[in-house]
């Protein structure tokens, strides 16, 4: 996550999309514990306020800025400017975590869910990166983390659109690594396996079945995924890494994810 030294950088600010819940909230808490100043965001202001309060109780710094990432590009650019302002005029990093996962098959997917999922999972990270990465590149340092999914790498009779959007996000991260990496912006993907969060709270048996054959034999926790987001090799120029917590080590030489 860090662009330079992980312990001595004086002013580290990070936007975590979808940080009102699940993996995003855990990532916000973990990064706050490491000294990052957080911009917490989502649609739900009360859950956002709760995450901010928890971070502040722990001695960290956080601000909530509301967002609807299903909105059109202009509104996303307005949100990006508000997030930079809330961060004190500079964002050092962004974690693209917010996503929708309509729990249906292809035939059952509604047009509204189709549009919203494409917008939140692909359009929003694209527009936000276009808005935020150039300033990082101009400063010669920055970090972008995309939260992918193991579902991007398998075929499943459900959640086909979701899986396709995750594959698209992972490919965007590779392209961004090539595009912004030479200017000092590190871009990496963390692809969680099935993880217990509010999104699958009612699907206990299915989540347990899906993870029974994995090395750990159980679902992950949001905190385990957050630790992967927050802990790349210190000082490493590693970029374009398809980190897959709970699925085995990254095949890239020198990569610890």
Ligand X SMILES: NC(=O)c1ccc[n+]([C@@H]2O[C@H](COP(=O)([O-])OP(=O)(O)OC[C@H]3O[C@@H](n4cnc5c(N)ncnc54)[C@H](OP(=O)(O)O)[C@@H]3O)[C@@H](O)[C@H]2O)c1
Q: Which residues sit at the interface with ligand X, rule CB under 6 A?
A: 18, 20-24, 42-44, 47, 67-70, 97-101, 120, 147, 149, 192, 194-195, 197-200
CB of 66 vs ligand X, minimal distance in Å: 8
Alpha-helical (H) ranges within 87-203 are 111-118, 124-139, 160-180
CB of 43 or CB of 126, closer to ligand X? 43
CB of 37 or CB of 97, closer to ligand X? 97
Rounded distance, CA 151 to CA 206, Å? Answer: 14
CB of 233 vs ligand X, minimal distance in Å: 22
CB of 69 vs ligand X, minimal distance in Å: 4
CB of 156 or CB of 234, closer to ligand X? 156
CB of 139 vs ligand X, minimal distance in Å: 27
Q: Pseudo-torsion of CA 257, 201, 101, 37, nearest 10°?
A: -50
CB of 111 vs ligand X, minimal distance in Å: 16
CB of 195 vs ligand X, minimal distance in Å: 4
Which sequence positions are flagged as catalytic? Answer: 162
Rounded distance, CA 127 to CA 80, Å? Answer: 9
| Count of Cβ atoms closer than 10 Å to residue 133 Cβ | 20
Contacts of 187 (CB under 8 A, 6+ apart): 143, 144, 145, 146, 173, 174, 176, 177, 180, 181, 239, 240
| Count of Cβ atoms closer than 10 Å to residue 4 Cβ | 15
Contacts of 232 (CB under 8 A, 6+ apart): 1, 2, 186, 188, 238, 241, 256, 257
CB of 31 or CB of 99, closer to ligand X? 99
Instruction: Tell me how far apart the terminal alpha carbons of the chain are, to the nearest angstrom.
Output: 12
Q: Positive or negative, the Cα torsion across 134, 138, 139, 145?
A: positive
Among 80, 83, 92, CA closest to 34: 92
CB of 2 or CB of 67, closer to ligand X? 67
Q: Which two three-digit tokens encode residue 157?
A: 């009779």
Q: Using CB positions, name the residue nearest to ligand X.
A: 22
CB of 43 or CB of 174, closer to ligand X? 43
| Count of Cβ atoms closer than 10 Å to residue 107 Cβ | 5
């Amino acid at each position: 996550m860090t662009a330079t030294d992980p312990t001595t950088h004086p002013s580290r600010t990070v936007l975590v999309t979808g940080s009102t819940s699940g993996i995003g909230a855990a990532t916000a808490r973990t990064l706050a514990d490491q000294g990052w100043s957080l911009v917490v965001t989502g649609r739900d202001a009360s859950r956002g306020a709760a995450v901010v309060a928890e971070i502040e109780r722990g001695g960290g710094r956080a601000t909530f800025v509301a967002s609807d990432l299903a909105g059109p590009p202009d509104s996303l650019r307005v949100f990006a400017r508000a997030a930079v302002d809330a961060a004190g005029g500079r964002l050092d990093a962004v974690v693209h975590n917010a996503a929708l996962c309509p729990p249906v098959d292809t035939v059952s997917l509604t047009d509204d869910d189709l549009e919203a999922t494409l917008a939140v999972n692909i359009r929003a990270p694209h527009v936000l990166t276009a808005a935020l990465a150039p300033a990082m590149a101009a400063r010669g340092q920055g970090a972008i983390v995309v939260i992918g999914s193991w579902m991007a790498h398998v075929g499943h009779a459900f959640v086909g659109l979701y899986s396709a959007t995750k594959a698209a996000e992972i490919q965007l991260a590779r392209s961004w690594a090539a595009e912004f990496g030479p200017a000092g912006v590190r871009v990496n993907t963390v692809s969680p396996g099935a993880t217990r969060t509010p999104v699958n709270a009612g699907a206990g048996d299915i989540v347990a079945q899906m993870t029974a054959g994995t090395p750990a034999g159980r679902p992950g926790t949001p905190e385990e995924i957050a630790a992967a987001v927050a802990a790349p090799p210190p000082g490493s120029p590693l970029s374009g890494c398809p980190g897959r917590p709970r699925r085995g080590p990254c095949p890239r030489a020198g990569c610890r994810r």
